[in-house]
Structures are given as C-alpha cells and as structure tokens.
Structure 1
C-alpha cells in the first residue's frame, strides 16, 4: 500500500471524526425566525438534545428534551447513529494508525499491517454512512414539515450543524474508500509465481544420456 495514500486517507478519516464531534453538540441543526416588533422578534433553534430561543435583546433560553421515549422516532435514531459514528471513527483511527507503513506499532509484517489498515477503512466507511443517514434523515423531516401547508407547528430551516455533518460524512467515506482501494490494488499485484520446468535442461540431460549410452559405432568392429 502506498504510504502517501495511507496518510491522506487517515487525514480524511480523522477530520471527519473531528467534525462529527463538532456537529453532535452543535445547537443549530434547525432554525426558525419568528418576525415581530423590535422587541418580540425571536429565533428558535434545536438540535438532537435541546430546544433554544433567543430574542432581539440577546437573551438565550435553552430547554433540554424532557423524555427520551417521548421524542420522535427519527430523533432517537439520529442520536444513536451519531454516537455510533463517533465510536466507529475511533476504531478506524486506531486501526489505521497501527496498519500504516510509517507506523512501527504493528511490527514489520506489512501484509498484516495492510489488512489492519483495510479494517480501519471499513470503520471509516461505517462512520460516514452512519453520519450521512443521521443528518439526511433529520433534514428530510425538516423539509417535509416546511413544505407541508397543513403542518400546524413551527416551520424550521436547515441549520449549520447539518452541513457540518454532511462534510464529515463525505470526508470519512473518501478516507475509507482510499484505504480499501489501496488494499485491493496491493493484493492484485501479488501474483503467485508459477513454476515452469526448464525444458532446455531436460533436453540437454536427455542428450547427455544418449551420448553416454553404448552405440554400435563406438565399438571396435575388429575386436
């Protein structure tokens, strides 16, 4: 496996893991502005854990969601997927660090190190897929409520936390794909050597054996 590809893939996966940690506690997953007078104008924003509101004077009020079981199904699933993405990214970072050629953690067995790096790529892919499903599902519900003319509640728009999550998923998927492709290229180049007998040697041995055999022309006909 090329060391440069390993380093680039590790950086992509690590940046994606960091951005997941930034997107998860971010408060602006969805945002709505309620227009009114100068005093009553307020902004409402939510994430996976709490709902907040701020008015034109700059006063913030946040309220945690009271019950986990009372939440919507997509909100519970988004929480679980984001936490799973952080766990998968952690495993991917450790596996890639051990399997990299520039690392001495796994010894000098480069075949084993390449397989470990490939496992790290799988973890990065799982991280990206979990993050992508979580933020896309959350964004789908926002857009569905926004364009529904009969929805009675507050209509929100996409917040910056979702865009951070999409960037994180893209980086993680690119990093994992680079690691897996590099492993496949390395395995395809290791073509086993097929033994082929040296026909010339066999032929020469046969000639020598024929020369060593008795021939009637070598005998003394007068004896």
Structure 2
C-alpha cells in the first residue's frame, strides 16, 4: 500500500510538471526588457517567448506570433525543439505511469510487468527533465551574457523572465517525481511460502 501511495504521489507531481511545462513553453515570458541606460521608454515593456512576442504599452498588451520558425536564431529553434521533446517524453511517461500503477487493472496481476513500466516511466521522467532544463539554462545564459556585453546596445538588453524561473521549478517537479515513482514501482517481493520450496518427506 505504501508503494501505491508513492506511485500516486509521483504521478501527481509528474502531471503538475507536465502542465506547468506546457505553460512555460507557450508563455511569452522568457525574456523581458531591461531598463538600463539613460534613454529608455519605461512605458513600453517587451516580452519575448519561444512562439510569440508581446508588447505592453500604456496598459495595453499586444502579442504577435513569430511569422516563421525558420527565421529564428539557431538557439531559439533548439530551445523550441527541446521543450517540445521534453513535453512529449513527459506525456509518454505519464501514460506508462498510469498503466503501471498497482491500483489499476490495465495489466491485471502482472506485477513484474507493471514494475518494468514504472522503471521505464522513471527513466522517461529523467530524460524529460534533462531536455527541459537545457533550453531554460541556455536561455538564461544568453540573457545574462548579452546583459553584461558592452557591445550590446541598451535597448536590446533583456532580463530573465518569470517563465525561466517557472521552468526551473518544472524541472524540479519532474526530478522529484522520478525517484518517488521509481521507488514505488518496485515489484512486490514474493511471499515466504512462494519463495521457499516445499519440503516433501518420503
């Protein structure tokens, strides 16, 4: 019963990580205008994401989806691809997790098969967390590098957006779901009566 509780807890954490991951991937909050220098229009705030940009001006928000993904930089395309790949792996891990839960009847009493599915799901959670962490950390690195680069003009400098911080939180959720679900996915040890051969006296 304890292992079943751990599995359910890991599944809930995985679902939360996947849902917040979709929000992070779709939100235009990866980079935000940095207010540095003397000549700045503080009334305008530019938000940039993987799929769109938003301009906040005098309380009005206008968003525009990128016209072409091929026109983006190589790093932006990489972040897009890795984020989508991570969400797909996380979704596959969730499907396997539900199938491998001990409280479900998908595979009947095949405890060993369910344990294998649980271990595969844990490995997929690990891969999903890794592929989600890469674009978040790379985007943060590019923002910080350009912010301190004297060759980058002040209006082009950006700061870390809230989506990056939320992305690190998503990675933590996936990593926490990994050992919790993996531990709960261990197969039930055979009973004493089954593990010891019956002695027959002649």
TM-score by length of 1: 0.77
Residues of 2 paired with 1:51 and 1:178: CA distance? 37
Matches within 5 A, 1:20-59: 20-33=21-34, 41-55=43-57, 57-59=58-60
On the 8 A contact 1:34/1:42 being kept in 2, the answer is no
Residues of 2 paired with 1:103 and 1:40: CA distance? 55
| RMSD over equivalenced CA pairs, Å | 2.9
Q: What SS class does the counterpart of residue 106 from structure 1 fall into?
A: coil
Deviation at 1:182, TM superposition (A): 4.3
Matches within 5 A, 1:123-138: 123-138=124-139
Deviation at 1:186, TM superposition (A): 4.8
Query: CA offsets per residue over residues 13-54 of structure 1, 9 Å max, x none?
Result: 1110111111111111111155889x8721111001122212
Deviation at 1:116, TM superposition (A): 0.8
- Report what 2:86 is aligned to: 85
Residues of 2 paired with 1:27 and 1:40: CA distance? 19
TM-score by length of 2: 0.84
Structure 2: unaligned runs, 5 residues or longer: none
Matches within 5 A, 1:100-111: 100-111=101-112
On the 8 A contact 1:124/1:172 being kept in 2, the answer is yes
Residues of 2 paired with 1:61 and 1:34: CA distance? 20
Residues of 2 paired with 1:62 and 1:15: CA distance? 27
Higher relative contact order (CA 8 A, sep 6+): 2
On the 8 A contact 1:33/1:44 being kept in 2, the answer is no
Structure 1: unaligned runs, 5 residues or longer: 206-223
- Report what 2:113 is aligned to: 112
Q: What SS class does the counterpart of residue 124 from structure 2 fall into?
A: helix
Decide which structure has the larger Cα Rg and report it.
1
- 1:176 corresponds to 2:178: yes
Match of residue 166, structure 1, among 168, 173, 183: 168
On the 8 A contact 1:28/1:161 being kept in 2, the answer is yes
On the 8 A contact 1:34/1:41 being kept in 2, the answer is no
Residues of 2 paired with 1:5 and 1:82: CA distance? 27
Q: What SS class does the counterpart of residue 156 from structure 2 fall into?
A: coil
Going from structure 1 to structure 2, the CA distance change for 1:33 and 1:148 (only over 3 Å counts) comes to closer
Residues of 1 paired with 2:4 and 2:112: CA distance? 14
Query: CA offsets per residue over residues 94-116 of structure 1, 9 Å max, x none?
Result: 10001011111121111111111
Report how many residues are paired: 197
